[in-house]
Structure 1
Amino acid sequence: MTAQPPIPFAPHPAEQVSFDRRELGAILTLYGRMVACGEWRDYGISCLRDLAVFSVFRRTAENPLYRIEKRPRLRGKQGIYAVVGMDGQVLRRGHDLAAVLRVLERKLIRPVD
């Protein structure tokens, strides 16, 4: 009987980027306010290797109206957080999540007739 070669260690699974409790709290507070206004109806969260995405939908079967993205690799450049519109245009990018989300809060302000 011959000796078996040693089993190599399994590589660490690739870590995923995700939103922490504070970030989700800020996002879900805005989401709740937009749902109360009837603007948004559904959301989805994706945690991938290089980014985390919170997608907002008007209807479940549609493409997302907005995507709130977290990309830690951009920490030293444009900023970790971004709000991306339906057409893929970056509406706002920065290091402070609250400041980035303000672009969506403007949708809550409506003129009074």
Structure 2
Amino acid sequence: MGVVTPFPVPQRLPTQVGFERVELNRILDLYGRMVAAGHWKDYAMDLGRDAAIFSAFRRAAERPEFRIEKRPALRNRQGMWALIGEAGVVLKRGPELAAVLAPVERRLMKLVAE
């Protein structure tokens, strides 16, 4: 008799970018180790439409020492992860979170004298 045509559903963009559980665990693990070492004292998270940002502070009243940004729109270009320094300079960018966090994790290494 008749053909049923499905009602077109418009594709919606996500209203907010966030961290997945595995990503947040990795970031908070690094944050906890930096707190234990005495480098960081506070953090903040900003979850917006374009990016999810984790900021780590030496003191609560200063600018963040490091910002870890996740921008899914850059996934196919430069990589969606970026490590940004206190002055706003991009220190590392890439598709993998572990590679982007490597410069911060190096700060935790201490030389052992023989």
Question: What is the aligned residue count?
Answer: 102
2: CA distance between counterparts of 1:14 and 1:33?
32
Q: Does 1:78 align with 2:74?
A: no
Q: CA deviation at 1:103?
A: 1.2
2: CA distance between counterparts of 1:81 and 1:58?
22
Cα distance per residue 1:89-113 (max 9 Å; x no partner): 1111011101111111011123346
1: CA distance between counterparts of 2:90 and 2:110?
23
Moved over 3 A (4+): none
Residue 31 of structure 2 corresponds to which residue in structure 1?
31
**Paired-residue identity, %:** 55
Residue 41 of structure 2 corresponds to which residue in structure 1?
41
Residue 16 of structure 2 corresponds to which residue in structure 1?
16
1: CA distance between counterparts of 2:104 and 2:79?
17
Q: CA deviation at 1:13?
A: 9.0
2: CA distance between counterparts of 1:87 and 1:111?
28
2: CA distance between counterparts of 1:77 and 1:83?
16
| Paired residue secondary structure (1:108) | coil
Q: Does 1:101 align with 2:98?
A: no
2: CA distance between counterparts of 1:26 and 1:51?
18
Cα distance per residue 1:33-52 (max 9 Å; x no partner): 00000000100000011001
Corresponding letter in the other structure for 2:42: D
Corresponding letter in the other structure for 2:29: T
